[in-house]
Amino acid sequence: MYIHLSIIIQEEIMKFNRFNILGLAVLVTVFMSACGGVAKEQSTTEEPTESTEVAAADYAVDSEASTVAWKGEVAGVYGHNGVIDIKEGTISGADGKITGGTIVIDMTTIQPLDSASYSEEHPASDLVGHLSTGDFFLVEEFPTASFTIKSHEGDKLVGDLTVRGITNEETVDLSSVSFDGGFSGSGVLVFDRQKYDVKWEHYVEDYVLSDDIEIKLEIVASK
């Protein structure tokens, strides 16, 4: 009887030990899973975020792909318009904004495109000759003009315009700016010719030459 009772007690002890070992294994598994989850969660929260800032870059103006158009009017009567070449230029930009640059215009390349007021007696070359004299841009002495960028806010580009050696601050009204794979931008600058000593007055009474000269810019540049 004592032997039988001892065997029963030993069997119960072995069952109890197996139960404890199994329970301990379950607890260890749960604990390890929980620790692994926390570690994973921490690793995801500590990943660095990518910066969306675009590094500053300089772009060389493509004088062949870019255009500068000009227009002047005799108030209420007729006007002249044409194009002029860019000699050279650079544009600097960062984060979608223009941060600097200079565009140099070759004043010896003034070319009229309008045709309404020309004739065999007064061809377009006469206008080019007149615009090149001291009445207008004195091209022999000042063969280039330039615009140097100072700031860009919204659709306004502010810079220093130099014509005939005279510099004044002017504003370009921008219509587009893109730094997608390069630079492209367009805008209009209107300046008062009197501020640059372009003071010619029309010789016909009641024909008033407007003081405003309009410049339309289409600039393309690449790194």
CATH number, residue 82: 2.40.128.110
DSSP state of 14: H
Residue 38 burial (C-beta neighbours within 10 Å; 0-12, 13-18, 19+): exposed
Residue 214 falls inside a structural domain: yes
126 with 207, same domain? yes
Q: Residue 211: its pLDDT value, please?
A: 93
CA distance 157 to 171: 6
Residue 81 falls inside a structural domain: yes
Q: How many helices (H) and strands (E) does the chain have?
A: 2, 9
Tokens linked to 3: 């032997």
Q: Residue 75: its pLDDT value, please?
A: 76
Residue 52 falls inside a structural domain: no
CA angle 127, 133, 136 (to 5 degrees): 80
Residue 180 falls inside a structural domain: yes
Q: Residue 14: its pLDDT value, please?
A: 53
Length of the chain: 223
Residue 164 falls inside a structural domain: yes
Residue 155 falls inside a structural domain: yes
Residue 217 burial (C-beta neighbours within 10 Å; 0-12, 13-18, 19+): buried
Closest C-alpha among 130, 132, 135 to residue 118 = 130
Q: How far is CA 124 from its chain centroid? A: 36
30 with 107, same domain? no
Q: How many domains does the chain have?
A: 2
Q: Residue 77: its pLDDT value, please?
A: 76
Residue 166 falls inside a structural domain: yes
Task: For the beta carbon of residue 138, count every other beta carbon within 10 angstroms.
Answer: 18
77 with 173, same domain? yes
68 with 29, same domain? no
CA distance 86 to 94: 23
24 with 61, same domain? no
Sequence-ordered strand ranges (E) for the chain: 57-61, 67-74, 78-94, 97-112, 144-153, 156-163, 166-178, 183-192, 212-222
CA distance 103 to 149: 9
**What is the extent of the structural domain holding 27?**
1-47
Q: Residue 8: its pLDDT value, please?
A: 44
From first to last of its 223 residues, the chain has per-residue pLDDT tens of 444 434 444 554 455 455 444 444 444 444 444 445 444 444 444 444 333 455 789 999 999 999 999 999 887 678 899 999 999 999 999 999 999 999 999 999 999 999 867 788 888 899 999 999 999 999 999 999 999 999 999 999 999 999 999 999 999 999 999 999 999 999 999 999 999 999 887 666 556 789 999 999 999 999 9
Q: Residue 180: its pLDDT value, please?
A: 93
117 with 195, same domain? yes
